[in-house]
Every structure is written in structure tokens, then in C-alpha cells.
Amino acid sequence: MMWMDFGIRDLIDVLLVAIILYQTYKIMKSSGTLAIFGGVVSFIVVWILISQVFEMRLLGSIMDKFINVGVLVLVILFQDEIRRFLSALGSHQGWKFFAKIFSKRREDSEQEGKYIAPVVLACMNMAKKKTGALIVIQQDMDLVAYEHTGEMFCADVNARLIENIFFKNSPLHDGAMIIADNKIRAAGCILPVAQTSNMPKEMGLRHRSGLGMALETDALVIIVSEERGTITVAHKGRLRPNITAKELQRILSAGDVNANNR
């Protein structure tokens, strides 16, 4: 009988919910909070089955109480993950269309990749000299929270400046540099360290920090190894080692570590 009342409005309602869930799934996957999404959806499905389909009053009333305090519990237990999710939501590619409509600033395509040549040159020079470096290139997600962990400034991207910052005697050489909007925004920054055990043993703390940043944000992270003089790029939770100058330029231009595989 219920299906007899199913009309166009209900179909649109179901489609909208499906679209919202799918988009939320994509954003949570990119922001590293997918496990929370799966747990919340599973709990809601069980709650609907118990309280609405099977009409179990006692168990349903207990789960109703959990739903009432569930939002507060989630905020307390998963505040870091929720912060990353909201950051991803606010800077997601889908919102760029609206940002362009209301923004007065016109993006110059020639200016967008202005940082690429100096970064590639600096990385090649540092790799030859076996100077360790950790460079974060902002994509869509805002990295201001990470910038505040280091020394903030605003400077044009210059190969010599990058090399001087990562020089072994520099006070900022151990941290990460963050580049956003064709500017060096901060240096000496602290990045989250990946706890995965699947990394090769020869990869040290810099690589773990680069991977940790790639897991928590959509940033492109360049790691120059101090021991081997090789270049690795971390993006979307993946590490791509032994990058050449041409490959690095292509990856930075495309904004994707898989640019060479297409």
C-alpha cells in the first residue's frame, strides 16, 4: 500500500538524498574521514530499520536517545576529523563555480603556474646536494592551520630562497614550507605524521610527514631525501618515489600525482 502512494515528489526526494550522500562520501574520502561516514550511515540505517520498519518500541526508544545526543558525542570524539571534513567541504571543487560568480578577482592562467619552474629548479639542486626538503603545495583545501605551526610570511617563490630556507644551517630547514597562491606562505611548519607500517624502511620522518599531509589534505607534497638525494611526491594518500624534473613539472602543472599515468 505504501508503494501505491510513491510519486514523483518521493522519487525526487530519494534522488536528492542519494546525491547528497554520494557527494558527502566523496568529500569525506578525500578528507580522510570516511570511517566516520560509514559508521554514522550504518547506525542510521539500523535505527530506521528498528524504529520504523520493525517498530521495536523498546530498542527503538533507546536508539532514539542515542540519536539525540549523537551529534554532541561525535563533535567531542571526532573534533579533528570533523574539522578536516568541514575544511574539505568549504574548499571543495564543487563550490568553485559559486566562488567565481561572486568573486571580483580574475584569475590569470599565466600566474597560476608561476611557482612551478622555481620549485622544480630548487628541488633538482637540493637533490644533487642531498639537502633534505619538504614542500607543500596548496590545492583546494585551505592550509592556514598548518601555516600557523611555523614562521608565517609572504614571499615570491624563488629557487634561491627555497634552497636557503632548507640549507642545513638554517633554523627553518627541519620543517615544511607551504606554498599557496604563488607565494611562500610559511616555513618550518609541523605536519601530521602518517602511522602506516607499509612504508619502505629507507623512508624516514620527512616521508612520513609528507604522506600524513597527503592523507589529511588534498595538497601536493614534495619530499627531497637527504640520504639518497631523490625526490618523492605525496598526494591523495599515495607516495610516488624517484621523480625526475620533467615528471615533477608535469605533476605540478596537472595538480595530480597520477598525471604521468594518463
pLDDT in tens, 197-217: 677 776 788 899 999 898 888
Measure Cα distances from 26 to 16, 88, 93 in Å: 15, 10, 11
Burial 172-182, CB ≥16 within 10 A → b, else e: bbebbbbbbee
Q: Is the pLDDT of residue 109 over 50?
A: no
Say if residue 101's pLDDT is above 50: no
Question: pLDDT at position 118, please?
Answer: 93
Pairing of strands 151-156, 176-180: unpaired
Q: What is the pLDDT of residue 50?
A: 79
**Does residue 187 have a pLDDT over 90?**
yes
pLDDT number for residue 172: 86
> pLDDT tier at 18 (50, 70, 90 boundaries)?
confident
Q: What is the pLDDT of residue 133?
A: 94
* Lowest mean pLDDT across 3-17, 20-34, 233-247: 20-34
More confident residue, 88 or 230: 230
Any idea what DSSP says for residue 51?
I
Can you read off the three cell numbers belonging to residue 235? 598526494
Mean pLDDT, residues 97-119:
59
Mean pLDDT of 27-41: 65
Would the pTM of this model clear 0.75, i.e. be above it?
no
Coil, strand or helix at 129: helix
- pLDDT tens digits for range 140-150: 888 888 999 99
- Helix ranges, 91-204 (H): 96-102, 109-112, 116-129, 144-147, 159-165
Task: Return the C-alpha cell found at 119.
Answer: 620549485
What pLDDT score was predicted for residue 5? 67
